[in-house]
Amino acid sequence: MKKIIFSLALFTAIAFQGFAQNEAPTSAPAADNPNAGDFAFNEETHDFGKIAKGTPVTYEFNFTNNGKEPIVISNVQSSCGCTTPKWPKEPVLPGKTALINVQYNAANPGGFNKSITITSNAKTPSKVIYIKGTVDATSEQTTPEKQPNMLNAPNN
C-alpha cells in the first residue's frame, strides 16, 4: 500500500511540474545595434570549377564594412578539415575592405561544396560563405615524388 501511495504522489508531482508555467525572463533581449558593422561581400559563393586532384586551390573573399562601427571577426570555421580559412585579426573599419582567404586541399575526387562560417560582432553575427567545385581524379598534379627519375632515363 505504501508503494502505491508513494507512486501516486511521485506521478502527481511530475504531472504538476510539467504544467508549471515558465517564469518571465529577467531581462529583455538586447536590441539590435543599428550602427553595427555590416558585411558586403563581392561574392558569397565561389566555384573553382574543375581542378586536378592533389592541387590545393585558394580564393580570397573580398568584403566591405558597410556599417558605422568596426567589424571584429572572432572566428572563421570551415565545414571540414580540408578547407583552411585565414581572416583579418584587426578590426575592419567602416567603409574599409578586407579579405578572407580560403584554401581547399583537393585530395578526394568528386564534387565538393564547403561552407565557411564567419563569427563576428556584425549585424549578422554568423555569416556563411561557400566554395564548390569538382576534383578531377584523371588529371593529377605532378609532384616531385611522382615525376619520373631523370637520372636513369635513357638518352635520346
69 part of a folded domain: yes
At 39 the pLDDT is: 94
31 part of a folded domain: no
At 24 the pLDDT is: 44
6 part of a folded domain: no
59 part of a folded domain: yes
76 part of a folded domain: yes
103 part of a folded domain: yes
Q: What is the CATH number of the domain that holds 61?
A: 2.60.40.10
At 13 the pLDDT is: 57
- Residue 30: CA atoms inside 13 Å, Cβ hemisphere, count? 4
Domain count across the chain: 1
At 29 the pLDDT is: 35
The DSSP bridge pattern shows strands 83-86 and 126-140 to be unpaired
Instruction: Give the span between the Cα atoms of 84 and 58, in whole angstroms.
Output: 9
How close are the terminal C-alpha atoms of the chain, in Å?
103
Rounded average pLDDT per 10-residue block, the chain, 156 residues: 62 55 41 84 95 94 95 94 94 96 93 96 95 86 42 45
Q: pTM for the complete prediction? A: 0.68
Provide the domain limits for residue 121. 39-135
At 10 the pLDDT is: 56
At 134 the pLDDT is: 95
140 part of a folded domain: no
Minimal CA–CA distance to 94: which of 62, 68, 126? Answer: 68
Q: What are phi and psi of 70, to 5 degrees?
A: -65, 150
155 part of a folded domain: no
